[in-house]
Each structure stands twice: as C-alpha cells, then as structure tokens.
C-alpha cells in the first residue's frame, strides 16, 4: 500500500488557511479535525434549479414554496439542495495517504496537505491522538506454511482438540484463487460477500493491514495437499495414501471443490481405485468414488458392501462423513413376495 507524507511546507499548504490558533500559545485545546466534519448544505436552492430549467417568460404554477437548505419538508425529512454521494471513488487510485505526524489516513494528497497545514504547523491547535481501528487480522501463533508468498489470507487450523493446547497451522494463501474454485469459499470471503471475513479482507486490501485470518476445522495435512493442488495445478503431487484420498474427498465435498480437484483425482486417485479387486479394507472408496463420479468403482464397492457386510458392519466401517443418501444406495432391500409372484 502506497503512503505519502508531505511536509507542512508544500505549495498546497501555503494556499490553504489553517484554523485560528488559540490566543494563548500554551492553551492546548483538544479538538477534532475540521476536515472530518460534514460539509454544509449548498447555497443553490431547488427553486433556483427549477427556474433555470423553465423557458424564459414563464412562471411556475406551483404556489407552494420549497423549503430552504436545512428545513424540514412536508414528509418530515431534512431537505438538501445537493445530492450527497461518494463520486470521488470513481477516480480514486486506492492509495491511502497517511500523515507522518499522527498516522491519520486521507484519500488524496491534497486532503493530506490541508490536514498538515491545519494541524501540524507551529501554532496549530493540539489534535487528539488517532488510534487505528482494530484490523481483525491477528495471525496468531503456530507453524506457518506459505503456499502463496504474497497471499492475502491466512487459513488457520488446529492440530487436535482445543483443550490439547496445540497452536495449530496457518496457511498463507491467495483468496482470488480459492473463491473461483469453491462456491463455499466465495460465500465466505468473495468480492460480494457480506460476511465479516470478506469485509475484513476488502479492508486489508485498501488499508494495507496484514492478511486476514479465517479459522477452519479441517485436517492440516489434507488441507495442505488441497491448497497446493489449487495454487499449483500443473505441479506434481505426491502419491496419496488411502487415508489421504478419503480426507481429500471429505474436503472436496464440504467446500464444493469438485470441478477444481477433478483433474487431481483423475490423475492420482482413479488409477489406484481401478486396480482394487477386493474392497475389504477400502470400504470408503464408496465416498471417494461418489465425490469424484467414478461409477464403475462405486458400483463395485456398493456390490461388495451389499453382499459381504451386515448393517452393523457397514455402520462400523463406512466413514461417518459419507452422506446418508450414499449409504442408502448400498442397503439391499429384499423384494416382497407379491413382487416375486408378479
């Protein structure tokens, strides 16, 4: 974030008059910044504007008088002749100009020059201290894993139950990579999200605060594998273990990363699953094949569960995070006697 700190001796300063200083040099009056106050109503009235729009020689047929600036109209609302907007944002270059004396932020160098001339010259009044608002970006402690060196986001996960005292792991990542890949991430901290994480992220982009921290409750090793795959789609990954594939499928289904992780699964998961002939120790290929759409593997593992496992064994062996509708597909329901007769 760029910062500029013009001194009190600039040309712009000399053209802008400062507020009157206290008569006694020792008088330290605690006052606010006059440039922080709302501007007064404009001098042009609505009647003047309407008259300017009428052809010469005509008079208005409306006998009622428009209220003047600051008066209350018939609806009980304060009337103003000017539309209040923030059109200055159209030309803003997203640069925060900070005062080198008090660290106050300003939207332009001219505003900063006005402030310096008014409040940081020899006989200027004493200005109250300025305290930055909380940034909500305390990165915390624990191991730092940098996925993106210039990332604008920390994903923080713990390495066990909170009561264990584990400090967890923080992953530095880039929000612009995660939000297009996941509808869930986009809802959490996307450009149009109204969640607190998204608001803090947008604020950090403008103010230069440190990366925003978002807490997750996922397995750190699995999350590292997924984040690496998302940030470096063409980089080679390690051959996953059975347990890792199950956890990746869980995260994929949780954050709706199916499309983004499908190439990874096709390259690393599918060849392993196609070689399995006996699913006795790999029941959770039911979840993996369901998440990534491998119909042949799903049919094979479903058949094994239906023919080999009782309901109790199925409950014991199938991962509890497998959607209930998927588990329901593997329950064999014997046909009724009437159905057989037909």
Render pLDDT for 137-196 as a digit per residue (tens, 0 to 9).
Answer: 455 567 899 999 989 999 999 865 443 445 789 999 999 999 999 999 999 999 889 898
Question: pTM here?
Answer: 0.62
What's the half-sphere exposure (Cβ side, CA atoms, 13 Å) at 98?
13
Task: Report whether pLDDT(333) > 90.
Answer: no
Task: Report whether pLDDT(285) > 70.
Answer: yes
With CA atoms as reference, report the closest residue to 9 among 116, 159, 109, 155: 116
Output the pLDDT for position 182: 96
With CA atoms as reference, report the closest residue to 146 among 121, 174, 105: 174
Q: State how far the Cα of 2 lies from the Cα of 92, in Å rounded to an integer.
A: 13
Output the pLDDT for position 67: 54
What is the tens place of the pLDDT at every residue in 69-81? 555 555 555 555 6
Residue 199 φ/ψ, nearest 5 degrees: -65, -45
Judge contact between 252 and 258, C-beta under 8 A.
yes
SS3 annotation, the chain: CCCCCCCCCCHHHHHCCCCCCCCCCCCCCCECCHHHCCCCCCCCCHHHHHHHHCCCCCCCCCCCCCCCCCCECCCCCECCCCCCCCHHHHHCCCCCEECCCCCCEECCHHHHHHHHHHHCCCCCCCECCCCCCCCCCCCCCCEEEECCCCCCEEEEECCCCHHHCCCCEEEEECHHHHHHHCHHHHHHHCCCCCCHHHHHHHHHHHHCCCCEEEECCCCHHHHHHHHHHHHCCCCCCCCCCHHHHHHHHHHHHHHCCHHHHHHHHHHHHHHHHHCCCCCCCCCCHHHHHHHHCCHHHHHHHHHHHHHHCCHHHHHHHCCCCCCHHHHHCCCCCCCCHHHHHC
Task: Report whether pLDDT(243) > 60.
Answer: yes
Output the pLDDT for position 340: 39
What is the tens place of the pLDDT at every residue in 321-330? 888 878 777 7
Output the pLDDT for position 162: 45
Confidence of residue 224 (pLDDT cuts 50, 70, 90): very high
With CA atoms as reference, report the closest residue to 214 among 255, 252, 181, 172: 172
Rg over alpha carbons for the chain, rounded to the nearest Å, is: 33
**Highest-pLDDT range among 41-50, 200-209, 323-332:** 200-209
What is the tens place of the pLDDT at every residue in 79-111? 556 677 888 778 777 788 889 999 888 888 899
Confidence of residue 38 (pLDDT cuts 50, 70, 90): very low
Q: State how far the Cα of 291 lies from the Cα of 285, in Å rounded to an integer.
A: 10
């Amino acid at each position: 974030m760029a910062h500029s700190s013009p001194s009190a001796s600039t040309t712009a300063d000399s053209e802008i008059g400062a507020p009157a200083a206290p008569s006694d040099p020792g008088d330290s009056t605690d006052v606010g910044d006059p440039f922080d106050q709302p501007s007064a109503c404009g001098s042009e009235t609505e009647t003047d504007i309407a008259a300017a729009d009428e052809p010469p020689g005509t008079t208005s047929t409306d006998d009622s008088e428009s209220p003047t600036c600051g008066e209350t109209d018939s609806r009980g609302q304060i009337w103003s002749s000017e539309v209040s907007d923030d059109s200055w944002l159209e030309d803003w270059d997203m640069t925060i100009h900070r005062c080198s004396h008090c660290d106050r932020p300003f939207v332009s160098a001219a505003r900063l020059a006005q402030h310096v001339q008014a409040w940081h010259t020899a006989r200027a009044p004493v200005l109250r201290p300025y305290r930055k608002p909380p940034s909500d970006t305390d990165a915390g402690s624990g191991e730092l894993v940098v996925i993106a060196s210039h990332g604008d986001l920390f994903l923080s996960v713990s390495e066990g139950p909170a009561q264990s005292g584990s400090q967890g792991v923080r992953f530095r990542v880039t929000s612009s990579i995660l939000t297009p890949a996941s509808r869930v991430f986009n809802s959490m901290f996307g450009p149009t999200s109204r969640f607190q994480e998204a608001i803090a992220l947008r604020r950090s982009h403008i103010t230069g605060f440190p990366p925003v921290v978002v807490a997750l409750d996922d397995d750190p090793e699995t999350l590292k594998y997924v984040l690496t795959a998302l940030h470096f789609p063409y980089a080679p990954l390690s051959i996953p273990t059975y347990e890792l594939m199950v956890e990746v499928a869980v995260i994929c289904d949780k954050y709706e990363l199916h499309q983004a992780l499908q190439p990874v699964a096709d390259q690393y998961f599918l060849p392993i699953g196609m070689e399995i002939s006996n699913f006795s120790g790999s029941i959770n290929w039911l979840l993996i094949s369901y998440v990534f759409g491998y119909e042949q593997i799903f049919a094979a593992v479903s058949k094994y569960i239906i023919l080999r496992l009782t309901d109790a064994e199925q409950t014991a062996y199938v991962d509890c995070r497998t959607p209930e509708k998927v588990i329901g597909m593997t329950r064999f329901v014997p046909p009724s006697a009437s159905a057989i007769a037909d």
